[in-house]
Chain A
C-alpha cells in the first residue's frame, strides 16, 4: 500500500515534468503547425538560465590568502563574490542560495526573447514547408544550441541546488497515519509539482478566458479564416512561440535542483516528450497533459522491484510499450484530432 501511494506520488511528479514539456511542444505544434525538435534545447536553455544566474550572483574577485595554499603549494586565491561586498556575507549567501527561484524572474524575459528570435528568424520561414524540413532544421538548431552551451559551460553536469530551506523531504506517511519514513517526498519535488500544475492551469486559463487566447484557439482550428477577419494572427503566433519557449524554459529552471543540468539534457528529454505528445494526440493540449501524467505514473510503477522481479527489463521499455499499445488501440492517441499529421 505504502509502495503504491509512493509510486503514485512519484508518477505525478515525473508526469508533471513530462506534461510541462509536452505542453510547450503542443502549443507550438497546435498553433504554428511546426514540429519543433529544438524544444528540448529550449528546456535545456531554461536550465542554463539558472546556471547563468547563479554564476552572475557568484561573480567574484580574488584575493590572495597567504594562510592557505592551493594544490600546487602556492598561496591560495580565494574568490569573494561581489554580492558579499554589496550585501554583506549573510545576505549575500542567502541571495546565492536562492539562485534557482530567482532564476524564474531571469528566465522569463530571456526565454521569451529566445522564442521571439527563433520564430522571427527561422521558424516563420518554415510554416509552409513539409514537416520533414521542419524536423531537420529544428534538429540542426538544437544541435547548434547545445554545442554553444557546451562550448561555454562544458559537458559535465553543473550542480544547482535548491535553497537550503527546501532540502529534505516531507513525511506523508506520518501525516497519513502510516509509520514514519515510509512515504517521504522531497520538498522541492512537491514544489515542482505544484509549480507545474500552476503553469499548466495558467496556460489553459489564458487560452480559455482571454481574447488573445480565443483568437489563438480559433487560429489553431482554422488559420485562414482568422486571417480573413483582419486579425494579425502572425503576431499572436509569434507571442505564442515566445510563451511556449518560456514554459519550456521555466520547466528547465525548476528542474535544475532535481537533476544537475548538462548540455545534452534537452536531447534526453526530446524523444520522450515527443512520445508523450503523440500518445496524447498531436495538437491536443489536454491530451499532452494527460499522457504526461499517465506515462509518468506507469513508468514509476514499472520501476518497482516487485514488478521487475516478474518482468525484468520492463522499466527499460515501459514508455514505448505503453505508447505502442495506446497508438494501436486509439489511432490518434488519447485525444488527437483526425487528419493532423497523418499523411
Chain B
C-alpha cells in the first residue's frame, strides 16, 4: 500500500489515526475535574507536538541512519522560520509559500553548512555543527538585528504590507491558508468534555503525516540502506566504490529541510520568530527528543518530541495552588507533607523532573520509549504464548 510494506503501512495508519484524533485522545479528562490540568488537547500544544515531531523525524534521518550527530540542528529550524516570516511580511500571508520558503532557505543553508562540516566525522562533526549554530544564534541576536529583529524577534506588524494581500490600513496581517485563518477552530462540546479542532493543527498534522510517510520511504529505500551502511562501516563503503560524503550530505540536507519545514510551520501557526530558537539548548533538545524516543526507529522521535513538549507545557503550569486542590481530600498535615514532597518536581521544578526522566530512560531503556513499548508488548504476548522462547541473538565472535 502506497509503496509500503504491510507492517509500515499499519504503522502509518496508527500514526495517522492518533494524529487526526489527537483532539480527543489528548483531552481525556472532563473540564471540571482536577485532572483537566493534564489535558493537552489545546491547539498550541497539539501544533507543537506535530511540528517538533517533524523536526525530530528529520533529525533522526541524519542521526539515526548515518550516525552523524549534529549538535546544531536548531539553526535550520531558526533559519527556516526567518525565511518563512519574511515571506509573510513581504509577499503573501498564505502559509504555503511561507512554508516552502522555510524549506528552501533551510535547504540552501544546510547545503552550505553540510558541505563544510561533513569533512569531519564523530565529535569533530558535532562540534562543527554546534559552532555554526551558535554563530547563527549569536549573530541573529546582535549584529544581524536589522534582519532578524534581534532579541525581540520578528512579528507581523500593522506596517507590514505583503505584496499579495489586501489588508486594510492598520490591520495586522494574519497567517492563513487561502483565506482560512490558522487560528480558526471548531469546538465540540460533549457533556463536560470540550474538544478543539483547530485549522492550523490539521495543516501541521497533514504535514507531519507526509513527513512521516516520506521518512518511512527513505528508511526502507536503498538510499536509506546506503546511509545505514555509512553508519556501519565507512571504510567498506569507500572500498565498494561509493562516496560516503555526498550520501551523507544528501541526508544532511534532507534533514535540514525537515527542520526548515518545522520552522516554517512554527511561523505559520504562530507568526513570530526569536533567535533563542537557534540556541544550543534548542539543538540539544532535538537530540534528547530523538534519543528519548528511540534513535533509528521510525516512531521514536515523534514520541520523544511529544514527551518533552508535554512536560515543558503541562508540568511547568502546575503550581502549589493546583496541588492543594488535588490533595484537598487528605488530612491537613498529610496534605502539606505530600505537597512538600511533590512540589520540587512540578511548576518551576519541571527541569528537575525532565533530568530525572532522561536518566531513568537512558539507564533502564537504552532503546528509548520505543523499547519501553516493545518490552510491554513482549510482556503481554509472553503471557499469551509463554512457551515460545525465541532464539537468543547469537553472541558476537571474538575478533
Contacts and interface: CB of A to CB of B under 8 A. Distances in A.
| Chains A and B in contact, CB within 8 Å | yes
Interface of A: 35, 122, 125, 129, 131-133, 135-137, 139-144, 146-148, 151, 267, 271, 274-275, 278-279, 282, 312-313, 316-317, 320-321, 323-324, 327-328, 331-333, 341-343
Contacts of B277: none
A144 B128 contact: no
20 contacts: A122-B359, A129-B366, A137-B358, A137-B362, A139-B284, A139-B288, A139-B358, A140-B362, A141-B359, A143-B351, A143-B352, A267-B281, A275-B131, A317-B134, A320-B130, A320-B131, A320-B135, A324-B128, A341-B124, A342-B123
Given A125-B363, A341-B122, A343-B121, 12 more contacts: A35-B123, A133-B362, A139-B358, A147-B351, A147-B352, A148-B352, A282-B124, A313-B139, A313-B144, A327-B120, A331-B120, A342-B124
A40 B89 CA distance: 41
A142 B355 contact: yes
A84 B348 CA distance: 38
B291 A271 contact: no
- Decide if the interface of chain B is mainly helix, strand, loop or mixed: helix
B344 A324 contact: no
Nearest to B279: A271
Interface residues of B, number: 44
Nearest to B144: A313
A144 B116 CA distance: 36
A151 B344 contact: yes
Given A132-B291, A136-B362, A317-B139, A144 B123 contact: no
Interface of B: 67, 69, 116, 119-124, 127-128, 130-132, 134-135, 138-139, 141-144, 234, 280-281, 284, 287-288, 291-292, 295, 344, 349, 351-352, 354-359, 362-363, 366
Contacts of B132: 320, 324
A321 B135 contact: yes
A137 B122 CA distance: 19
A341 B291 CA distance: 18
Contact of A316 (B130, B139, B359): B139
Contacts of A323: 127-128, 131
Contact of A141 (B120, B234, B355): B355
B359 A137 contact: yes
A316 B124 contact: no
A282 B356 contact: no
Contact of B124 (A122, A151, A327): A327
B358 A143 contact: yes
Given A143-B358, A148-B352, A343-B122, A133 B366 contact: yes
B113 to A, nearest CB: 10
B69 A140 contact: no
A279 B128 CA distance: 10
A283 B162 CA distance: 54
